[in-house]
């Protein structure tokens, strides 16, 4: 995943770079540019998957840069960052994926990346736990809790131990629709369910996780929606 950030404000560039890096487990190549001219001088068709443009910059505005991009590449994801809504209609005409208002906020960056939602992007998306640890979402099989910590069971047999409450973990992971609390104290990743029976999920590592009787109907409905949406997108990823 290649990302270009174009802004003449060094602080805004640094903050945007930090937020995107955190949300993608520091796996993206992120290049920064201080002007539209310097970016276009190095631009080649399809060289970036996402370009985030400040609108008010020196000689060329972000809108003008975006028009140049669209002349050669109709598919690149373009987002705008600005403190004004003055160019909202122009960004729509240019098929922008998002309109970021300054000052940048982590939840808005997350929403932008959610909207892009490419296969490559999804596989590197990460979250930060309250103890500062980063977790790549699609590496997680399931999560369970101990007395004062949670264990995040990951692919490859590696576990992440976090001294955070289960409630806090739920708030972090359930913000992504493929994580679900199927029974008290356990969050499953629907992508890692290999078999579903009436009263349990069998996970990709062989773990059998019960489905709470009290929540059985809503859990199975949530899993059915996930499977339907995933098939509509082209199947397992």
| Percent of the chain scoring above 90 in pLDDT | 53
Segment 32-67, tens digit of pLDDT: 999 999 999 988 776 888 999 999 998 899 999 999
Segment 185-227, tens digit of pLDDT: 999 999 999 999 889 999 999 999 999 999 899 999 999 999 9
CA distance 86 to 61: 12
Name the architecture of domain 131-232. Answer: Beta Barrel (2.40)
Closest C-alpha among 188, 150, 142 to residue 167: 150
Domain boundaries, the chain: 2-123, 131-232
Residue whose entry in the numeric block shows the structure tokens 């940048």: 104
Overall CATH class of domain 2-123: alpha beta
pTM of the model: 0.66
- Region of 235 please: left (phi>0), alpha (psi -120 to 50) or beta: left
| Consecutive H or E run containing 29 | strand 29-33
Q: Which residues contact 182 (CB under 8 A, 6 or more apart)?
A: 188, 201, 209, 210, 211, 212, 215, 219
| Percent of the chain scoring above 70 in pLDDT | 94
pLDDT of residue 235: 56
């Amino acid at each position: 995943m290649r990302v270009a950030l174009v802004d003449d404000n060094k602080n805004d560039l640094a903050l945007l770079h930090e937020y995107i890096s955190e949300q993608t487990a520091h796996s993206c190549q992120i290049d920064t540019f201080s002007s539209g001219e310097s970016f276009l001088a190095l631009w080649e068709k399809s060289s970036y998957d996402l370009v985030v443009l400040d609108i008010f910059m020196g000689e060329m505005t972000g809108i003008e840069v975006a028009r140049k991009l669209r002349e050669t590449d109709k598919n690149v994801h373009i987002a705008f960052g600005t403190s004004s809504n003055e160019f909202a209609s122009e960004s729509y005409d240019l098929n922008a994926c998002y309109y970021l208002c300054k000052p940048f906020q982590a939840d808005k960056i997350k929403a932008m990346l959610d909207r892009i939602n490419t296969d490559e992007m999804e596989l590197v998306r990460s979250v930060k736990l309250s103890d500062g640890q980063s977790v790549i979402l699609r590496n997680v099989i399931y999560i369970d809790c101990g007395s004062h910590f949670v264990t995040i069971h990951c692919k490859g047999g590696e576990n992440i131990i976090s001294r955070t409450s289960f409630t806090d973990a739920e708030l972090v992971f359930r913000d992504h629709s493929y994580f679900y609390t199927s029974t008290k104290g356990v969050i499953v990743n629907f992508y890692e369910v290999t078999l579903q029976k009436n009263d349990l999920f069998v996970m990709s590592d062989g773990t059998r996780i019960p489905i709470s009787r009290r929540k059985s109907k809503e859990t199975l409905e949530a899993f059915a929606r996930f499977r339907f949406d995933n098939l509509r997108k082209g199947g397992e990823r």
